[in-house]
Structure 1
Amino acid sequence: MALAPKFAGQRFTAINAPALHTLELYLDYVCPYSAKMFNTIYSSVLPLIQQKYPSKVQILFRQQIQPWHPSSTLVHEAAVAVLKLEPGKFWEFSKALFDDAQSFYDVNVVQETRNQTYSRLAKVAAKVGLDEKEFLKLLWINDKPASDGSLNIGNAVTNDLKVLVKMNRLVGIHVTPTVIFDGVVDNSISSSFTGQQWEEWLEKNVA
């Protein structure tokens, strides 16, 4: 599936050149299996691609909201805010968010308001060098109706989030993580893949 320019921060390429193959990772920030896969990708696979396959494969991070965890929407909104403020920080922010993900799991957000959760997410953004106030401004929900009386006012990232949801619905992704390779779901890839297993998979499918 194509990637809109405003979501360019979701793409990882080792060099600025067309890639022959595309790995799409459908991940949810509050899914422990997504965290497991992302951490291996981040620490082992990205450096491997830079070293061995810089012009042969690209990776797309597809944000997959899992709505049975209400905070999933909020953490993905935070990632969209990063895409708006500083796209080049998207992967670094995602690493920081996955590292702190358990603090946004159900039992750790149930007693706080939506804006309180956003405030904690802004602290995560600050860890990777984003302006905390500007970041929070994109997420904050006013408790007053809009000038036209509307009560579902959303925030400054709502429209972009809607686009991401529409894109994922087009391909019918349900489970996280899900990996699509060159347009086809590859169920052989597990969240438990080690760096070595990823290296073997890439050698077989990309080299």
Structure 2
Amino acid sequence: MALAPKFAGQKFAATSTPTLHTLELYLDYVCPYSAKMFNTIYTSVLPLIRQKYPQKVQILFRQQIQPWHPSSTLVHEAGVAVLKLQPGKFWDFSKVLFEDAKSYYDVNVVNEPRNVTYTRLAKLGAKVGINEKEMFDLLYISDKPAEDGSLNTGNGVTNDLKVLVKMNRLVGVHVTPTVVFNGVVENGISSSFSGEQWEEWLEKNVV
């Protein structure tokens, strides 16, 4: 599936020229299995692609909200805010968010007001060079009705988040993580894949 220019930060490519193959990773920031896969991808697979497959493989990070975890929406809103402010920081922000992900799991946010969660997420953004105030301003939800009386006011990333959700619904992805290779779900890849297993898989499948 195509990637809209405003979400270009979700793409990792070692070259500006077209690549032969596309790996799509459907990941949820509050899914421990997504965290495991992302860490291996970030630390082992991205350097390997830079070294061996710069013209052959690109990776698309597909933000997959899992609504049975209410905070999933909030953390992915933060990802969208980064895409709006500094798209080149998206992968680095995802790294620090996955590292801190447990603090956004159900038990740790159940009694936390929504804007307090956004405050913490904006502070995470600051760790990778995002302007904390600008990020919080995009995420902030007012406790006052809109001028037209609406109580569902949304925030500065709501419309973009809707687009991401619509895109993912088109392909019917449910489980996280899900890997899609050249448009086809690749069930042979596990969240527990080591860097060495990824290297073997790439050698076998990338021509």
TM-score (norm 1): 1.00
* Structure 2 stretches lacking a partner, 5+ long: none
Q: Which amino acid aligns with 1:80?
A: V
Aligned to 2:122, what secondary structure does the other structure show?
A: helix
Deviation at 1:33, TM superposition (A): 0.1
Map of 1:71 onto structure 2: 71
RMSD between aligned alpha carbons? 0.4
Cα distance between partner residues in 2 of 1:203 and 1:37: 19
Q: 38-47 vs 120-129, which deviates more?
A: 120-129
1:100-130 deviation line (CA, Å, top 9, x unaligned): 0000000000111100100010111011111
Distance in 2 between residues matched to 1:141 and 1:170, nearest whole Å = 28
Number of aligned residue pairs: 207
Q: Distance in 1 between matches of 2:109 and 2:11?
A: 30
Task: Please name the residue that 1:162 is paired with.
Answer: 162
Partner secondary structure for residue 197 of structure 1: helix
Deviation at 1:43, TM superposition (A): 0.1
Cα deviation for residue 133 of structure 1 reads 0.3
Please give the secondary structure, in 2, of the residue aligned with 1:173: coil
Flag structure 1 segments of 5+ consecutive residues without an equivalent. none
1:80 aligns with 2:83: no
* Corresponding residue of 1:206: 206
Distance in 1 (alpha carbons) for counterparts of 2:111 and 2:78: 19
- Structure 2 residue aligned with 1:29: 29
Q: Find the residue that maps to 1:130 and give its secondary structure.
A: coil
Is 1:16 paired with 2:16? yes
Deviations 1:72-125 (A, max 9, x none): 000000000000000000000000000000000000001111001000101110
Q: Say yes or no: does 1:57 pair with 2:57.
A: yes
Using structure 2 for the length normalisation, give the TM-score.
Answer: 1.00
Letter in 2 for 1:144: K
Q: Using the aligned pairs only, state the percent identity.
A: 81
